[in-house]
């Protein structure tokens, strides 16, 4: 599935798996730039689009905007990609000031995020939290269990218990490592460095057997190519998709669907890949998960 110089060619899952394929599910696209927010209040405008196990909450904020979670069932992720953004995070009696260009894991229970600057923030919350899942604009696509995705199971608790954990994204690239990967009990997030347009003779079409991939575009624009394999049941067949998505946007790719995404803006393109729960194959690769010491693998 991958070129030999692609770090993913060494994954245990790189060859795919044999076996019958029944149904795949649909793709989802959240073009946050193209429609009104699902939620708006003084100082913030928020868009919500979901996958089977997760909701991407994208917000444009003013200084002082507050996001509270009461009775949050599990860990969630706060992504502050813009260097000039910052926030104060409060949870379970702990207060931490987190800078921009960071990823922060927020524990279950009650918490509060107060934004310090104008800009944008991204929160990643599992669909176990029904109040957030209900806000998603594509909820009808996820009315029941997915035929190809196992029931969600969180990964083991972090070393030392649940608390606020923040990590800088200012991590040097390394040959052989694929992006900047962080995981917690509920999510794996891979933040890619800014890049120019991709050489279309070196794309990487591949598929995943039993989990969705969510690709969040934060800068530039991407062409997402998706292909549904044929099965004996023609009702499972779908036309190929070649979707142009500017930023900010997400593309949710179902299991077993062949896909590749091409950064296409002449300037900078920034993509973040999101998985819930974390990927085992990425976790198998020594040195790929940057906070592996804090979060044991399953």
State whether the Cα torsion 114-116-117-119 is positive or negative: negative
Contacts of 130 (CB under 8 A, 6+ apart): none
User: 71-118, pLDDT tens digit by residue?
Assistant: 999 999 999 999 999 999 999 999 999 999 999 999 999 999 999 999
Tell whether the model's pLDDT for residue 295 goes beyond 60.
Answer: yes
Rounded Cα gap, residues 294 and 298, in angstroms: 13
Per the CB < 8 A criterion, the answer to whether 69 and 111 are in contact is yes
The pLDDT score that the predictor gives to residue 11 is 82
User: 4-33, pLDDT tens digit by residue?
Assistant: 678 888 887 776 554 333 468 889 999 999
Omega before residue 277 within 30° of 0, cis: yes
Q: Residue 79's Cα: distance from chain center in Å?
A: 10
Q: Which of residues 144 and 252 earns the better pLDDT score? A: 252
Tell whether the model's pLDDT for residue 137 goes beyond 70.
Answer: yes
User: 162-212, pLDDT tens digit by residue?
Assistant: 999 999 999 999 999 999 999 999 999 999 999 999 999 999 999 999 999
Q: What is the mean pLDDT of residues 136-149?
A: 90
Domains of the chain: 7-284 (2.60.120.10)
Output the six-digit token pair for 49: 């689009």
């Amino acid at each position: 599935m991958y070129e030999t110089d692609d770090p993913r060619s060494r994954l245990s899952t790189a060859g795919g798996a044999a076996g019958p394929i029944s149904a795949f599910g649909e793709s989802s696209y959240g073009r946050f730039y193209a429609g009104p927010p699902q939620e708006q209040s003084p100082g913030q405008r928020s868009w919500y689009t979901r996958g089977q196990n997760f909701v991407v909450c994208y917000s444009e904020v003013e200084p002082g905007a507050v996001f509270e979670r009461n009775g949050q069932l599990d860990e969630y992720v706060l992504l502050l990609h813009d260097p000039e953004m910052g926030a104060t995070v409060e949870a379970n009696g702990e207060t931490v000031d987190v800078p921009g260009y960071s990823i922060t894991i927020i524990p279950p229970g009650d918490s509060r995020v107060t934004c310090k600057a104008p800009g944008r923030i991204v929160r990643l919350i599992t669909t176990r939290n029904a109040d957030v899942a209900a806000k998603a604009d594509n909820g009808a696509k996820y009315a029941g269990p997915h035929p190809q995705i196992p029931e969600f199971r969180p990964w083991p608790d972090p070393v030392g218990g649940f608390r606020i954990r923040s990590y800088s994204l200012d991590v040097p690239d390394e040959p052989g490592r694929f992006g900047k990967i962080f995981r917690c009990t509920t999510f794996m997030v891979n933040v890619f460095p800014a890049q120019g347009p991709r050489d279309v003779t070196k794309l990487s079409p591949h598929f995943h057997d039993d989990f969705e991939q969510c690709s969040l575009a934060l800068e530039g624009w991407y062409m997402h190519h998706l292909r549904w394999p044929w099965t004996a049941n023609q009702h499972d067949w779908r036309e190929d998709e070649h979707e142009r998505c500017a930023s900010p946007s997400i593309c949710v790719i179902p299991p077993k669907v062949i896909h590749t995404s091409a950064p296409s803006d002449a300037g900078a393109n920034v993509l973040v890949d999101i998985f819930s729960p974390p990927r085992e194959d990425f976790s198998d690769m020594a040195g790929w998960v940057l906070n592996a010491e804090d979060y044991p693998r399953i």
